Amino acid sequence: MNQYLVDFNFPFLKLGLLFLLYAETHYSFKGIYSRLKKKEPEIIADVPHRIKQGQPIPVLLLIKDADQHSIELNSVHINLFSKEKKECFPFEFNALKITEKFWHKTVEIQSTDNLSGKYRIDVTIKFSINGKRREVKNDNYTCSSHAPLEIYIS
C-alpha cells in the first residue's frame, strides 16, 4: 500500500520540487532578502549545440517580462571564436523600445570562412533601462557563469 502511494505521488513530488527550484527574478518573500531579485527583464541568448557546415548560425535573443520593466535595446555583438580564429558580428537595434512580456528575435551570423569543428560564442547585449546603460554577456542571471555558448559545426 505504501509503495502505491509513493508511486502515485512521485510525479506530483517532482512537479513540486520544480516549482520550489524555479529561479524567479521578479519576486521575493516579504522580509527575506533575495539575491536573484532585480528590476530588469530576463535577458537570454542561446545557440544550437550543432549545425551543418555552410549553414548560418542562428542566435536566439530572448527578453522576458519587459512589460514590467521596459528596456531600449541598443546593440548586440556576437563573437565567434576558437583557438585559431575570432570574428565579431555587430547588430544595431538603435534604441528599440521593448515592452512585451515575451520578445524574441533570431539573428543569423554567416562566417566568410568555411568553418568546422568546435566554436564558442559570446553574445554581448547592450541596452538601457530607466536611462541607465547596461551590458550583459549571454544572460543577465545573477548566479549564472555567463560562460561562452558552445557550438559544433560538422
> In this structure, which topology does domain 42-153 adopt according to CATH?
Immunoglobulin-like (2.60.40)
pTM over 0.85: no
Residue pair 37/23 in contact by the 8 Å Cβ criterion: no
Write the pLDDT tens digit of every residue in 47-72: 999 999 989 999 999 999 999 999 99
- Overall average pLDDT of the 9-35 stretch: 56
Burial 3-28 (b: 16+ CB within 10 A, else e): eeeeeeeeeeeeeeeeeeeeeebbee
Q: With a cut of 60, say whether residue 132 has pLDDT above it.
A: yes
Q: Please tell me the distance from the alpha carbon of residue 127 to that of residue 135, in angstroms, as a whole number.
A: 6
Phi, psi of 112 (to 5 degrees): -75, -20
What is the pLDDT confidence band of residue 74, given thresholds at 50, 70 and 90? Answer: very high
Report the pLDDT value the prediction gives residue 142, as an integer from 0 to 100: 76
Number of H helices, E strands in the chain: 1, 9
